[in-house]
């Protein structure tokens, strides 16, 4: 296997699986760093209140406890930096340990450090935080209009934006049909297998070594250096194996700063391994939007106008979540050409735990709103939901397509994806079965569709390729695999360009001392952006080798040809290893291709227990277009994983708060995630519309199932129940929800 065409698209087994499946991976919690202490956080048991004081004396008196500190004990503890949107945090500082006020249950008020996690938890239990409760706000729409202010003087709306243009009021009067609906995007937990983890070792030269389970090590390095007055090169961030991230490990969380401060003050390594109880109750939560939609259409089902109002819950601090609903807003129109579009979005602080991107990060919310609404529109018009979608698609000749909300879609063939999905689903066959069941009185089934567009990749990424004297190659990437299989897929890209076997290429990433710069892995960007950077770097490595050989042999560069690792000019030839033996042969690339817009079509068939309302997914079809796919085995895995999480949002998952603002779903006995027993028979298929903006042609892959599966399932349930009004049908579709909605 050496030709380019064979390597791109090869289902190579993942190199990392051997160690990961055997339990031989190395996560932060597996590191054995001499003298390392365990940190545990004392967390607020009130969702909103005035912090009167923290009594640490009893904790400090316990044996084997190295420290128990509140905010005042750690001078120069920097505030948590905003992730994206500095305006939203103005007047809303987030001290990593609470100073005078707590704004969510679980907010850290003190850190205790002990010889191990057992004694640190004993010390935690000995700490008393004195908090006077304040009124609790849990709903973003309520909070936006409340007199209770989380940050007195700054208001609860942290960010407010409009997209598109206000809609001409006449359209609502003149349209044949206008549908309106309200949707709730419930709060979700990221539920990675490995929770958040960080280990900080202060070094003798004043620098730090930081091992952390993270998606963006260079950003974390910048934030730690900036926060603690260090030069970036003094902070060495290493990301070992990571057990899932899903958007919850891109951030610079308050706990990280506190651990850094504690390690520096103690002069000893300190680690914090978040446990499941913390992960399910504290930040980050994902999603959390109240959506209100209105859509007008003519008698043929042509959409005339679409209006979307979003109140997004960003939790007690807007630092990590305020930009997510803006991503929803910009993706509002999905796959459709709609003449009039208006979106008004508010990011609102509440007393839930702060929200952050969660797999899909704003796009599932957008797809859910419009796909549910288009389905409702078709139902109201008495038309087939596929037909109404087809009538409104942006057609292939319209690309590049500027959306009314400010994106430029690169390419797409939405009707083709829908056609493949309907065929794979056997849509007509299920419609016939639906009619048969209705006729004989068997349990009802429903069929639901979703045609989505998403956005992937953003910004630049670093990639470099170096030829080694032993004939191997090293690829360096600024991306950061948290389970995406870069060790396998990135060498494929480089090998394809170089025309060598993938086994001759190995990858280095996730270490800021070796990788000079990087952005990381999120927004489905790794292959689209990081892969494209390596693709270009490999091409430039060939150019550099030809240049060097031309000089060595004193021939024009144009006479030096390259093929499969060998340079040739006339009778002479040399291998890349020969060239590398004469001095470092390496090409560095920083590449910023435009965003891409992957798309697809999902179909679901569900049966609903007519007496108890329990939903069984009988069949799921996922058709995704990721552009050029480098390793289908890995991309299939991404499709399966994200589909499972999509099923979770549709049917099972929900972070539930009681009226005091405490999370009720405190363990995986209460917060239900789908397991193998809940997975339906699922078919995955693809169409391929190459990314026109990069030579590699890859678009993003990794989040599609979270985007496509929930609306397909919800629409199928609405179809099974024959619902005309659907506001009662809110995710997760518990048996009780479906039973109530049908009454």
Partner 1 sequence: MKPAPFSYVVARSADDVVAALADGRTDVLAGGQSLVLEMNYRARRPARLVDINRVPGFDRLEPDGDVLRVGPLVRHRAFEGDTVPGPLGTLLRRVVHHIAHPPIRARGTLLGSLAYAHPAAEWPAVVTALGADLELTGRDGHRTVSAADFFRGPFDTARRAGELLTELRVPLLPPGTRVGFAEHRRTHASFAQLAVIAAVTLTQGRVSAARIGLVNAADRPVRAHGAEAALLNRPLDDPAITEAGRVAAEQDADPRPQPHADLGYQRHAVAVLTRRALAQARDQG
Footprint of partner 1 on this chain (CB under 8 A)? 117-118, 121-122, 125, 275-277, 611-612, 614, 652, 656, 664, 666-667, 669-670, 672, 674-675, 677-678, 734-737, 739-740
Q: How far apart are CA 105 and CA 107, in angstroms?
A: 6
Q: How far apart are CA 316 and CA 324, in angstroms?
A: 15
Q: Which is nearer to partner 1, 660 or 678 (CB)?
A: 678
DSSP state letters, 587-603: EEEEE-PPPB--EEEEE
| Residue 575 CB coordination number (10 Å) | 16
Q: Which is nearer to partner 1, 81 or 735 (CB)?
A: 735
Name the minimum Å distance from CB 194 to partner 1: 14
| End-to-end Cα separation, the chain, in angstroms | 61
| Residue 402 CB coordination number (10 Å) | 10
Q: How far apart are CA 255 and CA 122, in angstroms?
A: 19
Q: Which is nearer to partner 1, 76 or 118 (CB)?
A: 118
Name the minimum Å distance from CB 588 to partner 1: 45
Q: Could you tell me how far CA 539 lies from the centroid of its own chain?
A: 30
Pure H helices in 175-247: 217-228
Q: Which two tokens stand for residue 184?
A: 């709730």
Q: Which is nearer to partner 1, 345 or 665 (CB)?
A: 665
Name the minimum Å distance from CB 110 to partner 1: 17
Name the minimum Å distance from CB 117 to partner 1: 5
Contact 385, 378 (CB under 8 A): yes
What residues does 37 pair with on adjacent strands?
270
Name the minimum Å distance from CB 111 to partner 1: 16
What residues does 470 pair with on adjacent strands?
none
Name the minimum Å distance from CB 115 to partner 1: 12
Residue 16 φ then ψ, to 5°: -75, -15
Name the minimum Å distance from CB 112 to partner 1: 13
Q: Which is nearer to partner 1, 18 or 664 (CB)?
A: 664
Q: How far apart are CA 647 and CA 53, in angstroms?
A: 44
Q: Which is nearer to partner 1, 172 or 739 (CB)?
A: 739
Q: Which is nearer to partner 1, 266 or 672 (CB)?
A: 672
Name the minimum Å distance from CB 203 to partner 1: 29
Q: Which is nearer to partner 1, 665 or 691 (CB)?
A: 665
Q: Which residues contact 450 (CB under 8 A, 6 or more apart)?
A: 367, 371, 601, 602, 603, 708, 709, 710, 711, 712, 715
Please tell me what DSSP assigns to residue 232. G
Q: Which is nearer to partner 1, 391 or 640 (CB)?
A: 640
Q: Which is nearer to partner 1, 41 or 462 (CB)?
A: 41
Name the minimum Å distance from CB 731 to partner 1: 12
Q: How far apart are CA 94 and CA 627, in angstroms?
A: 41
Q: Which residues contact 429 (CB under 8 A, 6 or more apart)?
A: none
Name the minimum Å distance from CB 114 to partner 1: 11
Q: How far apart are CA 653 and CA 186, in angstroms?
A: 8
In this structure, the strands spanning 599-608 and 585-591 are unpaired
Q: How far apart are CA 272 and CA 280, in angstroms?
A: 16
Q: Which is nearer to partner 1, 127 or 475 (CB)?
A: 127
Q: Which is nearer to partner 1, 446 or 613 (CB)?
A: 613
SS3 at position 17? helix
Q: Which is nearer to partner 1, 386 or 641 (CB)?
A: 641
Name the minimum Å distance from CB 116 to partner 1: 8
Name the minimum Å distance from CB 120 to partner 1: 8
Q: Which is nearer to partner 1, 121 or 139 (CB)?
A: 121
Name the minimum Å distance from CB 666 to partner 1: 8
Q: Which is nearer to partner 1, 161 or 666 (CB)?
A: 666
Q: Which is nearer to partner 1, 405 or 737 (CB)?
A: 737
Q: How far apart are CA 408 and CA 406, in angstroms?
A: 7
Contact 369, 336 (CB under 8 A): no
From the number of C-beta atoms within 10 Å of its C-beta (0-12, 13-18, 19+), residue 552 rates as middle
Name the minimum Å distance from CB 367 to partner 1: 24
HSE, side-chain direction, 13 A CA sphere, residue 719: 29
Name the minimum Å distance from CB 482 to partner 1: 23
Q: How far apart are CA 539 and CA 526, in angstroms?
A: 19
Q: What angle do CA 408, 602, 311 make, to 5 degrees?
A: 60
Contact 695, 633 (CB under 8 A): no
Q: How far apart are CA 399 and CA 335, in angstroms?
A: 12
Residue indicated by tokens 């679901």 = 604
Name the minimum Å distance from CB 438 to partner 1: 21
SS3 at position 125? helix
Residue 203 φ then ψ, to 5°: -105, 160
From the number of C-beta atoms within 10 Å of its C-beta (0-12, 13-18, 19+), residue 12 rates as buried
Q: What angle do CA 603, 608, 610 make, to 5 degrees?
A: 155
């Amino acid at each position: 296997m050496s030709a380019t065409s064979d390597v791109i698209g090869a289902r190579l087994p993942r190199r990392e699986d051997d160690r990961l499946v055997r339990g031989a991976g190395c996560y932060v919690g597996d590191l054995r760093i001499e003298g390392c202490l365990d940190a545990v956080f004392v967390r607020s048991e009130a969702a909103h209140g005035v912090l009167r004081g923290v009594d640490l004396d009893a904790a400090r008196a316990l044996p084997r406890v190295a420290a128990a500190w509140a905010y005042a004990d750690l001078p120069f503890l920097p505030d948590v930096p905003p992730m994206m949107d500095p305006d939203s945090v103005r007047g809303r500082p987030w001290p990593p340990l609470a100073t005078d006020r707590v704004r969510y249950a679980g907010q850290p008020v003190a850190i205790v450090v002990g010889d191990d996690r057992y004694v640190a938890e004993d010390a935690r239990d000995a700490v008393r935080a004195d908090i006077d409760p304040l009124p609790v706000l849990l709903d973003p729409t309520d909070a936006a209009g409340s007199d209770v202010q989380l940050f007195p003087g700054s208001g609860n709306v942290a960010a407010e934006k409009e997209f598109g243009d206000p809609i001409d009021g006449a359209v609502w009067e003149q349209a044949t049909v206008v549908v309106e609906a309200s949707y709730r995007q419930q709060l979700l937990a990221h539920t990675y297998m490995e929770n958040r983890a960080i280990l900080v070792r202060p070094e003798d030269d004043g620098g730090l070594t930081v091992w952390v389970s993270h998606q963006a090590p260079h950003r974390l390095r910048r934030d730690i250096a900036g926060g603690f007055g260090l030069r970036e090169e003094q902070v060495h961030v290493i990301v070992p194996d990571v057990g899932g991230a899903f958007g919850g490990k891109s951030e610079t969380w308050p706990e990280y700063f506190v651990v850094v401060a504690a390690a520096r003050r103690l002069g000893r390594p300190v680690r914090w391994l978040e446990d499941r109880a913390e992960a399910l109750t504290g930040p980050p939560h994902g999603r959390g939007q109240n959506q209100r939609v209105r859509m007008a259409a003519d008698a043929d089902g042509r959409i005339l106008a679409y209006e979307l109002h979003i109140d997004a819950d960003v939790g007690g601090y807007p630092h990590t979540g305020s930009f997510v609903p803006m991503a929803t807003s910009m993706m509002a129109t999905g796959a459709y050409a709609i003449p009039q579009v208006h979106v008004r979005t508010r990011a609102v602080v509440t007393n839930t735990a702060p929200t952050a991107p969660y797999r899909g990060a704003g796009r599932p919310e957008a797809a859910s709103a419009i796909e549910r609404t288009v389905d409702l529109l078709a139902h109201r018009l008495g038309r087939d939901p596929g037909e109404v979608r087809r009538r409104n698609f942006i057609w292939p000749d319209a690309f590049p397509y500027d959306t009314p909300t400010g994106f430029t879609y690169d390419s797409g063939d939405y009707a083709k994806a829908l056609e493949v999905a309907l065929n794979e689903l056997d849509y007509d066959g299920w419609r016939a079965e639906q009619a048969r069941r209705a006729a004989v009185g068997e349990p009802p089934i429903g069929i639901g569709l979703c045609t989505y567009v998403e956005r992937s990749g953003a910004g630049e990424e670093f990639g470099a390729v170096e030829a080694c004297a032993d004939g191997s190659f090293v690829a360096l990437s600024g991306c950061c695999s948290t389970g995406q299989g870069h060790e396998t897929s990135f060498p494929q890209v480089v090998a394809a360009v170089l025309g060598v076997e993938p086994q001759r290429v190995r990858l280095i990433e996730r270490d800021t001392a070796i990788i000079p710069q990087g952005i990381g892995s999120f927004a489905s960007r790794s292959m689209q952006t990081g892969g494209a950077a390596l693709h270009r770097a490999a091409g430039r490595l060939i150019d550099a080798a030809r240049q060097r050989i031309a000089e060595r042999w004193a021939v024009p560069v144009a006479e030096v040809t390259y093929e499969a690792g060998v340079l040739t000019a006339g009778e002479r030839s040399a291998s890349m290893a020969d060239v590398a033996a004469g001095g470092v042969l390496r090409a560095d690339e920083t590449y910023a291709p435009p965003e891409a817009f992957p798309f697809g079509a999902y179909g679901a068939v569900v049966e609903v227990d007519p007496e108890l309302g329990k939903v069984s997914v009988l069949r799921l079809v996922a058709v995704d277009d990721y552009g050029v796919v480098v390793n289908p085995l890995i991309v299939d895995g991404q499709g399966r994983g994200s589909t499972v999480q999509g099923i979770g949002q549709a049917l099972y998952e929900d972070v539930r708060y009681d009226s005091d603002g405490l999370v009720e779903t405190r363990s995986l006995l209460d917060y239900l995630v789908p397991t193998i027993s809940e997975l339906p028979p699922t078919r995955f298929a693809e169409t391929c519309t190459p990314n026109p903006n990069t030579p590699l042609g890859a678009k993003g892959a990794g989040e599609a199932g979270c985007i496509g599966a929930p609306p397909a399932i919800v629409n199928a349930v609405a179809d099974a129940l024959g619902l005309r009004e659907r506001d009662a049908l809110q995710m997760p579709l518990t048996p009780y929800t479906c039973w109530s909605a049908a009454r």
